[in-house]
Chains A and B, each alone.
Chain A
């Protein structure tokens, strides 16, 4: 996967649709990222922290029982075992280091369920930065434990009362806050979305996921690449990192969206949060709210590079419903001893479905990025079970 062009576009998608007061900051960010991402000392520090603090490399695990049941060979790239419990740490360590190099003392971030907020608070604590996390008031209520976690890590959590009070509004509010504090503050965006250079920067910081997976699975399969490489897609960062390791192989790449937040499957092209991409919007152009059991996929847009990969057909995008996801969540927990994040369970849900229908042919080698662990979700799932939802 290449650099975007000089206007920050992947094909026709991406760009920088932001108010003028943010342009200087975005241009500075691009210049600095370009400089430090080719600086061996910067890279050395980034890899060192991810190894000794972040727990990388994460392993690839063969799922014996499920493989038997499904008739395919199923492997998981275990981002659930990375520090803070998801792939988000790869990106925030990179951005926090970059912020320090740029002389910024504060980080701001948006968060939905709280995973990116927790990761940002963690990086800030580690590197001596101040973190402020914008979180929709609705999500603050739903994810009380993660709010406390962020506060424990020393971050300030600001409930966002505007709009629909969820992730998309948290992004707006973080942008508004950034305009005011742009001199000493870096906006640590959580996915491959937003204005250029973010989609590119975040993908580069998630590349480590894909490069590790590539060499690990190649060795496991005795010198072959898998037939399928699958990842869930919210904004699209774990998928972008994963796919970056496999675009030049024969593997079929599959991104799985939540059916209630499927910008690529059901959306149309538009401009929101600084980027041109597929988004869920109504007929006059108002942005719609996404709705999914996994807060991390509850986003009406998607990163512009995914829109590009959809149009040039290198990646296919599928969806999974809430009930398929709950079932996958339960199967992985009970048959393999791994409780997945509900986000990651979307990828698994599609694999289960496609294996059973024969779309993935028997004996195929399938690699799924398990983007995070499910600890954050068990309370919510328990509530659903208590209310009588069958999983």
Chain B
């Protein structure tokens, strides 16, 4: 049975992102994220050609690959974790195809990973992977964007499991000083078409707690990526990263 993320209280859902193995203490950072009451954690598998990522996540991917990160090494690391916070893997499709869909999904299950986010797999291309994830009980999170028309958004939401990843703007991952109008509008539209039990989370361009508070008037939560990754890249201490995540919950 595929479980969706659920809210424990009235606070918005907060899902921090980290690129796997971008820093030696990445697993400690994940523990800290869980302690900071993250509702789920998105862990990226680094890819050489990250099409929808801006400079910050590109840099973290490069670092991770230089640190020897591979699909196996990251999944092994995650398998060793003892936390009750669900982990979602973010990966470009080639890393899945390379391992083989069935074997990849098996690996994901044995690493206790809850779901997959594959940003270069639009609705038209999901079937092959979706067949495997569904029968393995792995949630496949789908994405919608400001350019997605209502009808299409509804079809995507229907197929999405775990939550619906709503891109707040037409652009790549990265921090923005203010929340774009498109984020509010897209969140509102997504919430309207999404099944009642599927939380709508807005990601891309949500960098500050104020922005999260504003956007969650229209949706259930946020994914915070580049703002965290920049802090990790800049050498922030683990408890500083935890505090930053907590500030989204207050």
- Give the contact-size bracket for chain B: 35 or more
Q: Would you call B98 and A16 a contact (CB within 8 A)?
A: no
Q: How many A residues, CB 8 Å from partner? A: 35
User: Which of A199-207, A219-227, A268-276, A369-377 binds B?
Assistant: A268-276
A36 contacts chain B at the CB level, 8 A cutoff: no
**How far does the alpha carbon of A192 sit from the alpha carbon of B42 in the complex, in Å?**
35
On whether A16 and B58 interact (CB within 8 A), knowing A179-B171, A281-B94, the answer reads no
**How far does the alpha carbon of A276 sit from the alpha carbon of B48 in the complex, in Å?**
16
B83 contacts chain A at the CB level, 8 A cutoff: no
Q: Would you call B170 and A286 a contact (CB within 8 A)?
A: no
Q: Would you call B147 and A15 a contact (CB within 8 A)?
A: no
In the complex, which residues 1-60 of chain A have their Cβ closer than 8 Å to any Cβ of chain B? 7, 15-21, 23-25
Residue interface bits B145-163, CB-to-A below 8 A is 1, else 0: 1111100000010000000
In the complex, which residues 49-63 of chain B have their Cβ closer than 8 Å to any Cβ of chain A? 49-52, 54-55, 58, 62
Q: Would you call B122 and A23 a contact (CB within 8 A)?
A: yes
A284 contacts chain B at the CB level, 8 A cutoff: yes
Name the residue in B98, B143, B144, B148 with the highest tally of chain A Cβ atoms < 10 Å from its Cβ: B98
**How far does the alpha carbon of A264 sit from the alpha carbon of B5 in the complex, in Å?**
43
Chain B residues, CB < 8 A from A272: 49, 94
**How far does the alpha carbon of A21 sit from the alpha carbon of B97 in the complex, in Å?**
22
Chain A residues, CB < 8 A from B102: none
B81 contacts chain A at the CB level, 8 A cutoff: no
* Nearest residue, chain A, Cβ from B53: A176
Chain B residues, CB < 8 A from A21: 145-148, 167, 170
Q: Would you call B94 and A273 a contact (CB within 8 A)?
A: no
* Nearest residue, chain B, Cβ from A180: B171
Chain A residues, CB < 8 A from B71: 284-285
A175 contacts chain B at the CB level, 8 A cutoff: yes
Residue interface bits B115-132, CB-to-A below 8 A is 1, else 0: 000011111110000000
On whether A16 and B124 interact (CB within 8 A), knowing A172-B49, A285-B99, the answer reads yes
B172 contacts chain A at the CB level, 8 A cutoff: yes
Residue interface bits A257-286, CB-to-B below 8 A is 1, else 0: 000000000000111111010010101111
Q: Would you call A19 and B95 a contact (CB within 8 A)?
A: no
Q: Would you call B93 and A163 a contact (CB within 8 A)?
A: no
On whether A17 and B172 interact (CB within 8 A), knowing A172-B51, A270-B98, A286-B65, the answer reads no
Chain A residues, CB < 8 A from B167: 19-21
**How far does the alpha carbon of A329 sit from the alpha carbon of B62 in the complex, in Å?**
38
Chain B residues, CB < 8 A from A20: 119, 122-123, 143-145, 147-148, 156, 167
Chain A residues in contact with chain B, CB under 8 A? 7, 15-21, 23-25, 162-163, 168-169, 172, 175-176, 179-180, 182, 269-274, 276, 279, 281, 283-287
Beyond A20-B122, A20-B145, A285-B99, 11 extra complex contacts between A and B, CB < 8 Å: A15-B125, A18-B120, A20-B148, A23-B124, A24-B148, A162-B58, A163-B49, A175-B51, A176-B54, A285-B97, A287-B49
Chain B residues in contact with chain A, CB under 8 A? 47-52, 54-55, 58, 62, 65, 70-72, 92-95, 97-99, 119-125, 143-149, 156, 167, 170-172
Q: What would be 22 A-B contacts, judged by CB atoms less than 8 Å apart? A: A7-B125, A16-B122, A18-B122, A19-B51, A19-B52, A19-B145, A20-B145, A20-B147, A20-B148, A21-B145, A21-B170, A23-B147, A169-B49, A175-B51, A176-B51, A176-B52, A179-B52, A182-B147, A281-B94, A283-B98, A285-B95, A287-B48
